[in-house]
Amino acid sequence: MRLRKMGLVMAMMLAPAAQADEGMWMPSQLPGIGGQLHAAGFQGNPADLADLTRAPLNAVVKVGGATGAFVSDQGLVLTNHHVAFGVIQYNSNAQRNLIEQGYVAASRGEELPANPDFRLRVTVGFDQVTDQVLANARGKTGRAYYDAVDAASKALVAACEREDGMRCSVANMFYGRDFYLVKQLELRDVRLVYAPPRAIGNYGDEVDNFVWPRHSGDFTVLRAYVGPDGKPADYSKDNKPYMPPAHLRIAREGVSAGDYVMLAGYPGITYRHRTAAEFVDQVQWRLPTAVATMKALQDVIEDAGKADRQAAIHYASQLQSLKNNIKRFSGELDGLKRSNAVAVRQQDEAAMLGWLDRQVDAQALRPQIDAAMAQIADGNATRERDLLLGLIQSQTQLMRSALRLQRLAHERGKPDAEREIGYQQRDEELIAGQLRQVQRRYNAAMEKRLLGALLARYQQLPAAQHVAEFDAAFGRTPAELAATLDRVYAATKLGDEAQRLHWMDTDAATLAASDDSLLQLAAKLQPALLRIDDERKAHEGELLRLRPAYMQTLIAYRKQQGRAVYPDANSTLRVSYGKVTPLAARDAVAYAPLTSTAGIVEKNTGEVPFDAPKPLLDAIAKGDYAGYLDPKSGAMPVNFLSNLDTTGGNSGSPVLNAKGELVGLNFDSNWEAVSASWMFDPRYKRAIHVDLRYMRWLMDKVYPAPWLLQELGVPVR
């Protein structure tokens, strides 16, 4: 808090490169930082947390791209309402709208099957495979290094998945330094047990997204089932509850400001250990350029939508997505500037390299680090072009379809295992689905204007970033570009759904020879896109080869500072620890770390998204909180705030107290923390959790499910 009171200059000097409580630790690292854990308040034995395939961490499961946890010995799983939303939606219809009404299974027999593609994954293996992955790569460079790593990884995965019911993947830790084979048991019969109404589970919706103070009951209870033989099985009424190897126990008491908490989950991706040059690129070029380019597309859609109501409807979702990305990127940029991230990272890296140069192994490492940095700089040479080509492929419908059809036909010429990810046999259903969706999201005039906006920017790039095939296809002047787009879009048949799906079943030669104007265009562009893809892989291969020297140096540098280094997040199980923490978001603004039911009433307008259900408002008015009140504040808690280190993927992560008991459920972070994927600033980084006292009170007093509370092992009051 005192930081907020100092002048800017001092605050900048003190802006932290890293701090206690920062860190998404691999469980195996926890014994090594046991001192820190105990100093923070942990009362257990860090060694008990070291193996993610043993209790209690094997109670933490992957739910889609997010997290959940077993909370009973009969397979009950607790996750977020927004993570299980598809399950609720799947069981809703006009007669029985579970989204609006919520769902309370009256007994185990009334638990409702999830959508058939819904999956829970329990991690059962986590083994170092660095030597296997790199065996054939060592001595190679560039594209060859990339291909060797890729082939070894695919082979390990294929071997691992030979065991029935297993999904496997290779996780890259420390940017190519270590590789782990992750083996997960995949449960396919998952059922809906308890969900609050949308107006509780998603109270505040987009308005409150990224907002603290928050008042959302963002939780849902599921149950995993297996076949009579105890093995993963598709849904069947003969299935029986899965008996997990471990489950978390719900705490009798809650937490208050300053209390120790920890969290386990599957954070998706962070960039904390990127080089200073990559921070410069992100802050000074990538975020502002992406925002400016997306704003140009937003302007096109809004402007064209004024004159054409139907087009406005077709592009509403794309517009919303652009706006969300613009907001999020702008927030990330603001945050990185506020944290002075570039200067902090530059100073830290310079100090690290200065230190390295005084060490004996500098001679071995420094050339590789310099080469990595040169490679990174090299990648920037075409960044403007690459951004535009990416947007051309993501912000169009027909153009994207044409390119995808050509690429799919091309990939089909290889054995399935060698096909590009996204174009393998298992991806074909998804591609067909995307080809079908085009109809609801396409308008020829709009697509021409969007493409025109992007290609106009491309035409203005310096010669070194130009691509011969693109110049030939679209011309080099605005007039040629406009004429080409008019001609191509007037003639193509790709706007017809049956045609698109028909072409999906056509071979490469036929497709390349097609007289469809847009397929022809895509055929001309494809060699360039394949070439650029090759160049990208060669670039990534070099970075895979060279970055470990940078990471090794960072780890050694931190070690002599007395600090451990966690790998950047990569969707593997991580643990973070910290405290229930208030937030001084701005000058003179202090947010308390617990919200209360009074805030639900304050926010309530009676209209979506602040339309708390009557049973909830009645229960609040009645105030029957005995056994659930926070003893310090005397209020009924709803959500709480911590400084736990999280990112996307941590949704649904269980939050544990000092004794390892479940006290909360992670579901969001604050707006000030959107830049945390690059830098953890302890002044602003917070995570937002459902207080389990709120969940228990709802299950006890508002939408009662006493049998479930009993199974969860908590008293009914």
The span from the CA of 372 to the CA of 517, in Å, is: 43
633 binds a second copy per the rule CB under 8 A: yes
Q: By the 8 A CB rule, do 210 and 222 touch?
A: no
307 binds a second copy per the rule CB under 8 A: no
421 binds a second copy per the rule CB under 8 A: no
Q: Output b/e per residue, 275-293; b: 16+ Cβ within 10 A.
A: bbbbbbbbbeebbebbbeb
Per-residue binder mask for a second copy (CB under 8 A), 8-47, x = binder: xxxx------------------------------------
Q: By the 8 A CB rule, do 673 and 209 touch?
A: no
Among 341, 594, 679, 709, binds a second copy (CB under 8 A): 594
Range in contact with a second copy (rule: CB under 8 A) among 49-57, 112-120, 322-330, 620-628? 620-628
312 binds a second copy per the rule CB under 8 A: no
Smallest separation, CB 681 to a second copy (Å): 14
Closest to a second copy by CB, 564 vs 601, is 601
Helix or strand (DSSP H, E) at 380: none
Among 296, 362, 601, 716, binds a second copy (CB under 8 A): 601
Within positions 434 to 463, which residues make up the interface with a second copy, using CB under 8 A? none
Contacts of 430 (CB under 8 A, 6+ apart): none
432 binds a second copy per the rule CB under 8 A: no
337 binds a second copy per the rule CB under 8 A: no
Rounded to the nearest angstrom, the gap between the alpha carbon of residue 512 and the centroid of all alpha carbons in its chain is: 37
The span from the CA of 441 to the CA of 139, in Å, is: 48
Of the candidates 153, 339, 514, 651, the residue annotated as catalytic is 651
Phi and psi at residue 352, to the nearest 5°: -65, -45
Smallest separation, CB 602 to a second copy (Å): 6
Which residue is listed with tokens 């077709």? 314
Starting at the earlier edge strand, list the strands of the sheet with 654-656: 574-579, 260-265, 654-656, 662-669, 687-691, 637-642, 594-596
Among 55, 280, 528, 635, binds a second copy (CB under 8 A): 635
Closest to a second copy by CB, 406 vs 670, is 670
Distances (CA, A) of 58 to 64, 161, 248, 386, 642: 17, 19, 10, 41, 23
- The letter for the amino acid at 704 is P
- Is 651 a residue of the active site? yes
Among 623, 704, 706, 715, binds a second copy (CB under 8 A): 623
The span from the CA of 680 to the CA of 678, in Å, is: 7
Within positions 205 to 244, which residues make up the interface with a second copy, using CB under 8 A? 212-213, 215
- Is 314 a residue of the active site? no
Smallest separation, CB 635 to a second copy (Å): 4
**What does the longest C-alpha to C-alpha distance in the chain come to?**
75
- The letter for the amino acid at 523 is A
Give the number of residues in contact with a second copy, rule: CB under 8 A. Answer: 37
- The letter for the amino acid at 34 is G
Q: By the 8 A CB rule, do 390 and 454 touch?
A: no
Among 351, 381, 509, 590, binds a second copy (CB under 8 A): 590
Smallest separation, CB 231 to a second copy (Å): 47
3-state SS class at 412? coil
Closest to a second copy by CB, 106 vs 589, is 589
620 binds a second copy per the rule CB under 8 A: yes
Closest to a second copy by CB, 165 vs 599, is 599
**For helices 444-459 and 287-307, angle between their N-to-C axes, nearest 10 degrees:** 150
509 binds a second copy per the rule CB under 8 A: no
3-state SS class at 194? strand
526 binds a second copy per the rule CB under 8 A: no
Of the candidates 21, 72, 81, 82, the residue annotated as catalytic is 82
Among 509, 602, 710, 713, binds a second copy (CB under 8 A): 602
The span from the CA of 475 to the CA of 469, in Å, is: 10
- Is 218 a residue of the active site? yes
Closest to a second copy by CB, 636 vs 679, is 636
Query: In the numeric block, which tokens belong to residue 340?
Result: 């002075």
Catalytic residue positions?
A: 82, 218, 651
Residues in contact with a second copy by the rule CB under 8 A: 2, 4-11, 212-213, 215, 338, 586-599, 601-602, 620-621, 623, 625, 633-636
